Amino acid sequence: MLDQLTALLISLLMLSVMGYLMSALKETMDFKRAVVRFKSRKVTQSLIDQYDVKIFKLGGRRVNIGDEVKIVLENEEQLKGCVLGARKKLNSLALITELDEIVELNIRQIRKLKIVTKYGRLF
């Protein structure tokens, strides 16, 4: 009985690892084709096309569209979300938060930026 349970758990673990690898490879292939998928109904292709910069440097870090970031603002407010892009003329960065809100921030408001996960990266 214990051997069967162990075999079942090992096979479920292997399936979950393979599922993770397949989804990460799909993200990598999409990123190489310049396609980014968001789990939001508010984000459309026309909204993404409004932002003219998709890959940029901010605070010495290279930030791509689709990266999940954590931002601390000057007023100590914290935001966590995915990068939609940036507008060079307005000097602003757009995020889609976990609450499915689109937030556009001025670069000068950002005190600290931490990249939680890079889009299309395996580890």
- Residues 72 and 92: their CA atoms lie apart, in Å, by 15
- Lookup: tokens for 35: 């396609």
3-state class of 89 per DSSP? coil
Q: Do 95 and 102 touch, CB atoms closer than 8 A?
A: yes
pTM greater than 0.85: no
Q: What is the DSSP string of 6-61?
A: HHHHHHHHHHHHHHHHHHHHHHHHHHHTT----S-SS--HHHHHT-SBSEEEETTE
pLDDT tens by residue, 16-40:
999 999 988 888 887 777 677 777 7
Second CATH level (architecture) for the domain 45-117: Roll (2.30)
- What's the rounded Cα separation, in Å, for the pair 64 and 56? 7
pLDDT at res. 21: 92
